[in-house]
Chain A
């Protein structure tokens, strides 16, 4: 049977699995892909979320419109990051396509990261939408010279949420009700990462926990930039966010490798 499969250089193979494989699996598994599903879930819900918390802040007399706009617009990327990645892996399990995929010789890193790329793009889209809508409806006016910095903060936060989502998704290799874990994580982050509640108001333990989660530093950087504090002021937080994201992505990779090995031993992949 030689000659039927053209040998590829490992590099090409990596990038093909990364881009094309990632895109195809995204279409196969991301339930919200049709416009009828995408618009209400990824655009409609975030829009109302921003409005909801802005008004809540007004009712409680806490924070400013900008506080909630920046917080929520950036937080939105965690929805794509967490649920997108969880779906990407957990749904493989429910369709029972996980075993066939793991049986292929493809590079695990490419496989894994490739799924993250479309999710990341989706996350960026929703964040951008959030900011646009806030500018239109709520009079959000960020400091213009700091816009590139803000964009960077959003990019880095989206990436770190995607990394976090990968870690949660890996758990989906083993745990059946992984969406419960994702739900809890998503809502905990809403409470702890300074999205709606100033971090200073949280008890010490929770404040410490928040430092280890994505969103916290990215949102702090975003708020500083929107207020015109300047790029250098926000840079430490951006770097911290990047660090957190990389740590979670590394954890994801290790978890995936561990679960894959133990799953192969115990046959857990096809057990629903």
Chain B
């Protein structure tokens, strides 16, 4: 160490604090993605389930009435994968950070804690894109699905909006899970019901009407509709819009929840294992 060396003063961002927020968010997103995408275990886990479900759905389609195109199922299975990543990756986000001893440094930084957490959940949701890519390629390679995109630009937009909305939903999950003990057991129960009612592999029209309002509150419902419309054909603008509305709702809920969580953690000394 250079003993006695004096450091020059650092240069801080000029202007009001909120100007720094987008950059803070994007940096967090980027680094979280970097960390998770490099973990072989995570990647494999993100791939196995969606590919199997895609295979089941597509094999059944070929044995059955073939009313829905294979791409329908490939996209649905891809989103199923993103949802699993979000449930398991974001549900435990606070516990995981605490386990790594990162909760304290993150809370201590002057950046708003919700922004820090959001970067992490967005990064996690983005890892789910592996699932999406895998199911599309798999469907094309093994089942001969037609990868034809009616509006490629809207498709890309839909992908981005879906990932963002799921990252925001992940923020809500992550901050509410930490408020309730045994919530990680609930994670085990959150995959199938959500896959079912959001119409990922089963059209909403086949489901009982009373599940629809619940489905409309969940981002995957709109995301998958937007993606399918952009790929197979149909109106993707309305679902995209609703996806954005849902995202805004999650953001507000998330901001409030994180504030509650941070206050509680400082109250009950749960920022660290002591």
Binding site for B on A (CB under 8 A): 32, 34, 36-41, 44-45, 48-49, 51-52, 55-63, 177, 180, 183-184, 187-188, 190-191, 196-198, 201-202
Contact = CB atoms under 8 A, between A and B. Distances in A.
Given A40-B186, A41-B188, A60 B196 contact: no
Q: Which of A40, A52, A56, A63 has the most CB of B within 10 A?
A: A56
Contacts of B189: 40-41, 44-45, 48
Interface stretch (B44-52, B162-170, B264-272): B44-52
Q: Which of A36, A51, A60 has the most CB of B within 10 A?
A: A60
Contacts of B203: 59
Contacts of A48: 189, 191-193, 196
Given A48-B193, A187-B49, A201-B62, A58 B202 contact: yes
B100 interface: no
Given A55-B207, A60-B60, A177 B41 contact: yes
B182 interface: yes
A60 B65 contact: yes
Contact of A183 (B45, B64, B182): B45
A60 B68 contact: yes
Nearest to A177: B41
B159 interface: no
Given A49-B192, A60-B64, A187-B49, A197 B185 contact: no
B56 interface: yes
Given A61-B65, A191-B52, A37 B59 contact: no
Contact of A52 (B67, B181, B188, B195): B195
Nearest to B44: A180
Contacts of A177: 41
Nearest to A189: B52
5 A-B pairs closest in CB distance: A61-B65, A48-B192, A62-B64, A61-B64, A60-B64
B61 A60 contact: yes
A71 to B, nearest CB: 11
B19 interface: no
Interface in B56-98: 56-57, 59-68
B186 A56 contact: no
Contacts of B62: 201
Contact of B63 (A59, A184, A198): A198
A188 to B, nearest CB: 7
Interface in B143-196: 181-182, 185-186, 188-189, 191-193, 195-196
Contacts of B207: 55
Contact of B202 (A37, A56, A184): A56
B182 A34 contact: yes
A34 B56 CA distance: 33
Contacts of A49: 192
A51 B66 CA distance: 21
Given A183-B45, A183-B48, A187-B52, A59 B206 contact: yes
A64 B62 CA distance: 16
B193 A197 contact: no
A90 to B, nearest CB: 14
A180 B41 CA distance: 7
A34 B189 CA distance: 15
Q: Which of A45, A57, A202 has the most CB of B within 10 A?
A: A45
Contacts of B45: 180, 183
Given A48-B193, A184-B48, A201-B63, A59 B68 contact: yes
A196 B60 contact: yes
Q: Which of B68, B188, B189 has the most CB of A within 10 A?
A: B189
Q: Which of B185, B201, B207 has the most CB of A within 10 A?
A: B185
Contact of B185 (A37, A60, A63, A201): A37
Given A36-B182, A45-B192, 11 more contacts: A37-B185, A52-B192, A52-B201, A56-B202, A57-B60, A59-B202, A60-B68, A62-B63, A190-B52, A190-B56, A197-B56
Contacts of A62: 60-61, 63-65
